[in-house]
């Protein structure tokens, strides 16, 4: 029997604070990916940074309970990252955040571990683009660009990617297909474009594969996209047929929508929100992790 795929998720984390419910949940693209890839059958590890506070301890304990290797999780002085979420007219709205200590460059130990994994997953929220060439030298790279569909950014990231993912909810099929093909043309081995309730498409040199979303009465859509990406990456590493991969990813994402928080593990909210920044301030002020030449 073949061994499970091994994936390291490197970068961002937060606790998602549901202020109107006084609850917080572990989350963030890379934390979610480590958990959902583990649930999909992979062996996973998470490398990132939290603090020794209630939020950081929640993230660490949740990862341990989910079977994720946390030996590369750093404990730093400061503040664990958080994001504040409210429900307005039935919709989930991100109202503010503080990235705390979550933006880090890989250490020598992190880089030394990379060849032990079949893939490393990171994304735009981790701010480690300068390290992608080093990552790609050691293993396959999965990168989530989320809603950043700028051609220049795609051209910078795609050449290093085994799998690049873009979110295009509300886009037409032709627009999504053009996006997938542009990422492939820029150098990505596989390009995944998720389209919300319209499903997703996955492209490689052999063609384009598509699958619809699975209808569900969603309780909370947080983490559904990360679920989808993690299941696609595991499926590709396991060399499953693309249509089978997409179907299973849609099923897993639908299940995520049936629970609160990205993957559960709720705790009473215990975060000081006095230093919360607007998303506009976050985007304007966040600086990338230290570049390799500065290491």
Each residue's pLDDT tens digit, 168-189: 988 899 999 999 999 999 999 9
Overall average pLDDT of the 233-242 stretch? 97
Q: Look at the chain and report how many structural domains it folds into.
A: 1
Q: What is the pLDDT of residue 86?
A: 84
Q: What integer best gives the mean pLDDT of the chain?
A: 94
Question: 75 lies in a domain?
Answer: yes
Q: What is the pLDDT of residue 42?
A: 98
Overall average pLDDT of the 109-131 stretch? 97
CATH of the domain at 44: 3.40.1190.20
Question: 290 lies in a domain?
Answer: no
Contact status, residue 203 vs residue 176, Cβ threshold 8 Å: no
Q: What is the pLDDT of residue 60?
A: 98
Q: What whole-number distance in Å separates Cα of residue 154 and Cα of residue 132?
A: 13
Any bridge partners for residue 268, and if so which?
A: 23
Asked if residue 213 has pLDDT above 90, the reply is no
Q: What whole-number distance in Å separates Cα of residue 77 and Cα of residue 21?
A: 28
Question: 273 lies in a domain?
Answer: yes
Q: What whole-number distance in Å separates Cα of residue 66 and Cα of residue 88?
A: 31
Question: 41 lies in a domain?
Answer: yes
Q: 89: pLDDT confidence band, cut at 50, 70 and 90?
A: low
Each residue's pLDDT tens digit, 99-118: 999 999 999 999 999 999 99
Q: Between 147 and 24, where is the model more confident?
A: 24
Question: 287 lies in a domain?
Answer: no
Each residue's pLDDT tens digit, 241-290: 999 999 999 999 999 999 999 999 999 999 999 999 998 898 888 999 99
* For the chain, percent of residues with pLDDT exceeding 70: 98
Structural domain range at position 196: 6-281
Q: What is the pLDDT of residue 218?
A: 86
Q: What is the pLDDT of residue 1?
A: 64
Question: 194 lies in a domain?
Answer: yes
Q: What is the pLDDT of residue 214?
A: 86
Q: What is the pLDDT of residue 254?
A: 95
């Amino acid at each position: 029997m073949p061994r499970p795929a091994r994936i390291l998720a490197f970068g961002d984390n937060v606790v998602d604070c549901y202020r109107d419910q006084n609850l917080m949940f572990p989350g963030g693209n890379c934390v979610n990916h480590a958990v959902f890839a583990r649930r999909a059958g992979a062996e996973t590890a998470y490398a990132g940074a939290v603090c020794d506070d209630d939020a950081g301890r929640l993230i660490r304990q949740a990862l341990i309970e989910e079977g994720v290797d946390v030996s590369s999780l750093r404990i730093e002085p400061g503040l664990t990252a958080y994001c504040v979420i409210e429900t307005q007219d039935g919709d989930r709205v991100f109202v503010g955040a503080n990235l705390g200590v979550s933006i880090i460059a890989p250490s020598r130990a992190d880089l030394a571990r990379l060849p032990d994994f079949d893939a490393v997953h990171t994304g735009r929220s981790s701010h480690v683009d300068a390290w992608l060439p080093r990552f790609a030298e050691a293993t396959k790279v999965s990168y989530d660009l989320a809603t950043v569909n700028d051609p220049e950014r795609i051209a910078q990231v795609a050449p290093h990617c085994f799998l690049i993912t873009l979110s295009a909810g509300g886009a037409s099929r032709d627009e999504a297909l053009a996006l997938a093909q542009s990422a492939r043309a820029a150098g990505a081995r596989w390009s995944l474009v998720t389209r919300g309730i319209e499903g997703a498409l996955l492209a490689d040199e052999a063609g384009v594969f598509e699958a619809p979303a699975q209808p569900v009465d969603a309780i909370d859509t947080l983490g559904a996209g990360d679920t989808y990406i993690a299941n696609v990456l595991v499926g590709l590493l396991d060399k499953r047929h693309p249509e089978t991969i997409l179907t299973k990813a849609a099923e897993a994402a639908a299940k995520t929508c049936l629970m609160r928080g990205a993957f559960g593990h709720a705790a009473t909210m215990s975060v000081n929100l006095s230093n919360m920044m607007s998303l506009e301030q976050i985007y304007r002020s966040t600086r990338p992790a230290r570049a390799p030449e500065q290491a």
